[in-house]
């Protein structure tokens, strides 16, 4: 009996073993190696000299890296603001539609970008924002607003803002697809209908119902999306590397692009590892703060 019981308890972990093995080999071992190599002057092959905390000291004096963190924080705040507003508004509007067929059609249209590779979306926006033959500038010229046309990705004043515009109208950003909209809509569908019926009997307005019932009941999903966006925005790489490579100048430089340059262009893999560890600690602290201070789902009195 004990043997049968132990095998029954062990079976689920055996099914997880392949996944855990891949995580250990491709995630945890490289992570531990990165922490170790952050204390070395390492070029990825021949040079491997222990330098202690020198890489970390240099990182906190590196103006380019600090500038990259500032830009990443701007991206984070903008994307968190977008994620907690526009996809939620779209989910609320769709939830108010009574026809299930209409809901299905709109939901499919909103989530269709999820099947399109993110690189394709970024390249499409590169074509839209092109300074010479871009769709946006051609549109402005055709409606008599030539003065507004400019090299959107080639100007230090507009480059970062143009990158933040990717994914407009922001139902789902290029980094997360339509995930935010789908999770909000699913959370709204899971709210007990009795609450809405009681609110209707009480005669409360739509706005008050949204504040007193909808938001508290989906606060866990809001926190999840905000956490995912914080992590992805501080690690943003593909869109900036494809569109500007951190330029013009340093106007769109972010930590991930700077780490890539230091590691693969200049061969400073040890310094790159130190930058990665610092970025990991920043993300860890922000995630802990959000977990600590954002409340779980509950109905407000």
Q: Binning pLDDT at 50, 70 and 90, where does residue 171 land?
A: low
pLDDT in tens, 107-123: 877 777 777 777 888 88
Q: Which two tokens stand for residue 90?
A: 């779209």
- Confirm whether pTM is higher than 0.75: yes
Q: Which two tokens stand for residue 86?
A: 């526009």
Whether the per-residue pLDDT at 172 is higher than 60: the answer is no
- Contact criterion met (CB below 8 Å) for 141 and 149: yes
Segment (H or E) for 42: strand 40-42
Query: Residue 208 and residue 199: Cα distance in Å, rounded?
Result: 9
CB atoms within 10 A of CB 250: 14
pLDDT in tens, 252-291: 999 999 999 999 999 999 999 999 999 999 999 988 888 7
Query: Residue 257 and residue 262: Cα distance in Å, rounded?
Result: 9
Query: Residue 28 and residue 22: Cα distance in Å, rounded?
Result: 9
User: Of 181, 203, 9, which Cα lies nearest the Cα of 95?
Assistant: 181
């Amino acid at each position: 009996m004990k043997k049968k019981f132990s095998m029954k308890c062990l079976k689920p972990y055996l099914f997880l073993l392949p996944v855990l093995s891949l995580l250990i080999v491709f995630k945890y071992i490289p992570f531990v190696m990165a922490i170790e190599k952050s204390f070395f002057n390492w070029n990825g092959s021949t040079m491997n000299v222990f330098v202690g905390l020198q890489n970390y000291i240099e990182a906190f004096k590196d103006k380019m890296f600090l500038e990259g963190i500032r830009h990443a924080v701007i991206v984070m705040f903008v994307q968190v603001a977008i994620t907690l507003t526009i996809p939620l508004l779209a989910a609320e509007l769709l939830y108010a539609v009574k026809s299930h067929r209409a809901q299905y059609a709109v939901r499919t249209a909103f989530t269709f970008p999820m099947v399109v590779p993110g690189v394709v979306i970024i390249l499409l926006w590169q074509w839209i924002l092109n300074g010479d033959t871009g769709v946006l500038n051609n549109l402005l010229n055709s409606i008599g607003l030539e003065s507004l046309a400019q090299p959107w990705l080639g100007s230090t004043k507009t480059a970062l803002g143009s990158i933040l515009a990717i994914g407009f109208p922001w139902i789902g950003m290029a980094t997360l697809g339509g995930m935010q909209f789908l999770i909000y809509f699913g959370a709204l569908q899971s709210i007990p209908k009795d609450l809405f019926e009681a609110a209707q009997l009480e005669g409360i307005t739509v706005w008050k119902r949204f504040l007193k019932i909808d938001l508290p009941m989906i606060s866990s999903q809001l926190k999840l999306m905000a956490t995912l966006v914080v992590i992805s925005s501080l690690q943003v790489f593909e869109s900036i590397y494809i569109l500007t490579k951190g330029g013009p100048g340093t106007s769109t430089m972010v930590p991930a692009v700077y780490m890539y340059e230091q590691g693969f262009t200049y061969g400073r893999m040890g310094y790159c590892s130190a930058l990665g560890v610092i970025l990991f600690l920043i993300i860890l602290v922000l995630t802990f703060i959000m977990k600590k201070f954002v409340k779980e789902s509950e109905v407000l009195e």
